[in-house]
Structure 1
Amino acid sequence: MPVASRVWAETWRLVVVVLVGLFLFATVWSTTEVDTISDSRLGAHLLVDFAVGVVAVVLVPFRHRAPLLVGVLVVAASTVSTLAAGAAALALVSLVTRRRPLEIAIGSAALVAATLAGEDLFPEQEPTPLWQVAIAAVVCTALLVAVGIAIGQRRALLDGLRERAALLERDQQLREDRAREQERAHLAREMHDVLGHRLSLVALHAGALEYRGRSLSPEETVEAAGVVRAEAHSALTELRDVLGVLRDPADATTGTAPPQPTLRDLPALLDEARRSGADVTATTAPASADAPDAVGRHAYRVVQEGLTNARRHAAGQPVTVTVDVVHGPALRVRVTNPTAHRAEQATATPDAATSDAATPDAAPAGHGLRGLAERARLLGGSFSAGRDASGTHVVEAVLPWTA
């Protein structure tokens, strides 16, 4: 709570305490039998009443630091001071808001005892029977206890609501952080799948140009440089498409996200791989056309990554791509290629040596395959990659969909 609010909350309570005390001071002393009391003794009584009442009012602001001690002292002060009665009531209510049974019992008993004891100190002109005073004291104390319990419950409820709101806010923040992490992972996966394929083609053609550049005619050099330029331009275009998802939400209405490739774009991908010199054989089941675009996009990325890895790690080796439909229904995408060994590469044909020389030193594989495994997991499918018993590298994904 702000300082100004706390000061105001304490100030108006003290004002009420003082007004209640002054009212009771005037009421009690106006009905007290003073004819039998000497002037000096009457003056002493009034002075003690006023002084003890002031002390009680001064103690009230400290009730939050020591609720039980301050409560008992202020209630005891109300025994000899009518001016302290308002302070005693506030101290008891504040003590009860803590909702501790032992403290409530001590405070309530002290107030009832103080009321009964004060009855003898202020003799009335028409005395009230003690049993009536006791009943009135018990009733008033019960009312103060009820008010204190209600205030305590309300405070506990508000604290619970604030805590719940804080928990919900933290939970919302965690969900947002998780969504951002998933979006970053999605962006990284898309950028790897797109740029890894394109940049591997750029590196392949640039390596070939570097290796055979001196033996090429000017026309062949220009043609090879054009291929490198076209692949670099395609990589830049696809990078711009992927980064389009990072567009500021306020500008989202200025454009639409480009369509992602699906199985319908697979022939173009295979033709592109063949133009780059790869020996690719593909078999696609007609029933695969029934697969939803969402599944087709993941299948396309599996083939794309398989071709990229084959080009990077087994250049010059034939690649077989198979896309069929299995029971589920589900798409089964399989990309296989023989693995190239260094001893075999040493005795390879000139064309294979050229392709191998054109292939840059490949970084350890793993990021792309992990991305494919994540794609399969999101669809509830399976993914595997590795060498089989014959030494053939096999990348296989099973991607189910709801019929």
Structure 2
Amino acid sequence: MGDSEAGDMAGADSAYPWLLPSAVADPRASGDGSRRTVRDWVVDICCLAVAGVVGLLVVESLRHDPHVSGPLLLADQLIGAAACTALWLRRRWPVGLAVVLVVLSVVAPCAAGAMLVAVFTVAVHRPFRVVAAVGGLALVTAPVSAAVRPDPDLTFIVSAVAGVVLALTVIGWGMFLRSRRQLVLSLRERARRAEAEAGLRAERAQRLAREDIAREMHDVLAHRLSLLCVHAGALEFRPDAPPAEVARAAGVIRDSAHQALQDLREVIGVLRAPGGGDGDEASRPQPTLAELDDLVEESRQAGMLVTFDGRVVDPRTVPPATGRTAYRIVQEALTNARKHAPGAEVTVRTAGDPRQGLTIEVVNPAGEEESGVVPGSGQGLIGLSERATLAGGRLAHGPTPDGGFRLHGWLPWRT
């Protein structure tokens, strides 16, 4: 009965969802026995068979008892058969059925097998308080039954002790199966939660990867595309320019487009690398502070007036992550100045050391020409603020009293 009953735990527990550790019930089971599964039928038949065998053994013992008359034996057999049949209701009313059978077994020994099955069912499917109450009643009635219907082959003490031992065995067995069942359900619930958490972590990783792609695409391509727009705009508004200038502008457009494609390949290669781009920062193919001079010169070749005041003694000593963040800040500031203040002189200042950190400042007055050369989404400064915060620094930006714009950032000098 134990193995079959243990295999029936899921179907039986579905009738009592409040017993499950996570209150997870099987929607197929209604608890009234009208929709039993194949396993339910097998378990119920096994329980009925066990109760019937015990009842037959008791009947056989009563046949040899001279104090038991024929009508009394027939009544015991009828009561035992009714008790076994009543086990069909053990899923629906386990506690009530167990109490009735415990009381009935006092005067009808043939119902002892059904009583043990009913008590076992309560031990498997009910909390400890209910099991203690029903089990206590079964333990109390064991010596009473031995006194009311004594066994001619056993003394009162032996008969009472045997009844108590049987009741304790059934109760302990049922509680053990219930605890094992709850452990299995708890492990399954924990596995489901772990799987759900893994799915959430995967979604978060995908979201962060998309954000990294968006940030890198903006940082890498906005600068190049703004250069393309400036030179293309010059060709559009100066169709009568000398052939040499047209050729030079076309060459800059070609080189900028080629460089933009190359930067795009590098960024995508980093993002596709194992580990999502994590690893040695110095090995990532992205610019650092040492390449800030090239960025300023590139902007000057595009027609911008840029004054660069670099006070870092050796830019190559700046940590790669810090230098890369500083490079992106200056790059975005130059791109914004080119878009919103064309013709204005831009001043770029960098200073710092390992003790004070790295300071970046980009200032430009109001533009001399009408802005709106290149459309923008307005997300670049937000992305720079997030980048600076992630690096442990800070970034401030806003208009100046003369109508210009100032961007000031500080980054820690982390090795």
Instruction: Give the conservation status (yes or no) of the 8 Å contact 1:287–1:324.
Output: no
Instruction: Give the conservation status (yes or no) of the 8 Å contact 1:56–1:84.
Output: no
Give the aligned CA root-mean-square deviation in angstroms: 3.4
Residue in structure 2 matched with residue 227 of structure 1 by the alignment: 252
CA change 1:125–1:137 in 2 (3 A) is closer
CA change 1:170–1:36 in 2 (3 A) is closer
1:9 Cα deviation after fit: 7.2
SS in 2 for 1:332: strand
- Per-residue Cα deviation, 1:234-286 (whole angstroms, up to 9, x for no partner): 22222232233454869x9xxxx961111122121111101000111112221
Instruction: Give the conservation status (yes or no) of the 8 Å contact 2:76–2:109.
Output: no
Structure 2 Cα separation of the partners of residues 109 and 400 of structure 1: 72
Residue 260 (structure 1) aligned with residue 291 (structure 2): no
Residue in structure 2 matched with residue 350 of structure 1 by the alignment: none
1:94 Cα deviation after fit: 2.8
1:144 Cα deviation after fit: 2.9
Residue 399 (structure 1) aligned with residue 411 (structure 2): yes
Residue 212 (structure 1) aligned with residue 238 (structure 2): yes
1:117 Cα deviation after fit: 5.8
Within 5 A, what are the aligned runs for 1:323-402?
Answer: 323-326=350-353, 328-340=355-367, 345=368, 353=369, 356=370, 360-363=373-376, 365=378, 367-402=379-414
Within 5 A, what are the aligned runs for 1:272-351?
Answer: 272-284=298-310, 285-326=312-353, 328-340=355-367, 345=368
Instruction: Give the conservation status (yes or no) of the 8 Å contact 1:99–1:149.
Output: no
Question: Of the candidates 196, 216, 219, which is equivalent to residue 193 of structure 1?
Answer: 219
Greater relative CO (CA pairs within 8 A, separation 6+): 1
- The range that moved more, 35-44 or 292-301, is 35-44
Residue 19 (structure 1) aligned with residue 46 (structure 2): no
Amino acid at match of 1:362: P
Residue in structure 2 matched with residue 202 of structure 1 by the alignment: 228
Instruction: Give the conservation status (yes or no) of the 8 Å contact 1:74–1:91.
Output: yes
Instruction: Give the conservation status (yes or no) of the 8 Å contact 1:373–1:382.
Output: yes
- The range that moved more, 76-85 or 132-141, is 76-85
Taking every aligned residue pair, what percent have the same amino acid on both sides? 36
CA change 1:117–1:52 in 2 (3 A) is farther
1:331 Cα deviation after fit: 1.2
Structure 2 Cα separation of the partners of residues 177 and 277 of structure 1: 44
Aligned residues: 376
Unpaired runs of 5+ residues, structure 2, are 1-9, 12-27, 29-35, 278-282
Question: Of the candidates 131, 134, 148, which is equivalent to residue 107 of structure 1?
Answer: 134
Amino acid at match of 1:316: G
SS in 2 for 1:286: coil
Within 5 A, what are the aligned runs for 1:28-43?
Answer: 29-30=60-61, 32-35=63-66, 39=70, 42-43=73-74
Instruction: Give the conservation status (yes or no) of the 8 Å contact 1:287–1:325.
Output: no
Instruction: Give the conservation status (yes or no) of the 8 Å contact 2:106–2:149.
Output: no
Structure 2 Cα separation of the partners of residues 292 and 198 of structure 1: 25
Residue in structure 2 matched with residue 55 of structure 1 by the alignment: 85
- Per-residue Cα deviation, 1:374-395 (whole angstroms, up to 9, x for no partner): 1111111111111234544211
TM-score under structure 1 length normalisation: 0.80
TM-score under structure 2 length normalisation: 0.78
SS in 1 for 2:238: helix
Instruction: Give the conservation status (yes or no) of the 8 Å contact 1:18–1:86.
Output: no
- Per-residue Cα deviation, 1:211-245 (whole angstroms, up to 9, x for no partner): 111x2244433432332233223222222322334
- Per-residue Cα deviation, 1:162-217 (whole angstroms, up to 9, x for no partner): 3333333333333333332222222111111111111111111111111111x224
1:97 Cα deviation after fit: 3.7
CA change 1:372–1:77 in 2 (3 A) is same
CA change 1:23–1:41 in 2 (3 A) is closer
Structure 2 Cα separation of the partners of residues 334 and 369 of structure 1: 14
Amino acid at match of 1:55: T
Quick check: which one's helix share is greater?
A: 1
Structure 1 Cα separation of the partners of residues 163 and 231 of structure 2: 101
Structure 2 Cα separation of the partners of residues 165 and 327 of structure 1: 48
CA change 1:88–1:10 in 2 (3 A) is farther
